Amino acid sequence: MAQITRDKVDLDLNSARRASQISGLHAGEDGIKRGMPCRVDSNGEVVRSNASADDANAQVDGFAARDANEGEPITLMGIGLRMQYNAAGDLTPGDTLYVAAADGELDDTSTTGDANGVARAVSSTDIVIIRLN
């Protein structure tokens, strides 16, 4: 199992216009970075998803559209969003990516909390969100 390196994330604006969005939210913790899988917690705040267990923490409501620290506004982007995720070109096109057993990261193999995957590599640098869980 290998965690995918998130490097120089850049949202594709054409797909972002058509992708589902949840706006009007605020970050519930520091360290949320653009492109991280996130969920809305029971306080209505955005926190990073973590699939180390098959529980609510593994839920993904969208991917962060921008960097945010606790209390700052944030929008979650959903299905159909394409983004540059790994500028180094380490992705394998066609691979399914899963919520990792680490806060806000993706993995190239299934995890305890994500057996289906939430994104797919469409080039050596880009991913597209295929489902939320």
In the chain, the amino acid numbered 84 is Q
Residue 65 contacts residue 78 (beta carbons within 8 Å): no
Q: E strands, the chain, where?
A: 10-11, 21-26, 37-40, 46-48, 62-64, 73-77, 82-84, 96-99, 106-107, 119-121, 126-129
Average pLDDT over residues 40-48: 97
What is the tens place of the pLDDT at every residue in 111-128? Answer: 999 999 999 999 999 999
Residue 86 contacts residue 42 (beta carbons within 8 Å): no
- Residue 8 confidence (pLDDT) above 60: yes
> Counting Cβ atoms within 10 Å, is residue 70 exposed (0-12), middle (13-18) or buried (19+)?
middle
Share of the chain above pLDDT 70, in %: 99
* CA–CA distance, 46 with 13 (Å, rounded to integer): 22
- What is the residue extent of each domain of the chain? 10-129
pLDDT of residue 133: 84
pTM, two decimal places: 0.96
- Residue 1 confidence (pLDDT) above 80: no
Short-list 63, 78, 82, 77, CA closest to 14: 82
Geometric angle at alpha carbon 51, from 47 and 55, rounded to 5°: 85
* CA–CA distance, 80 with 15 (Å, rounded to integer): 6
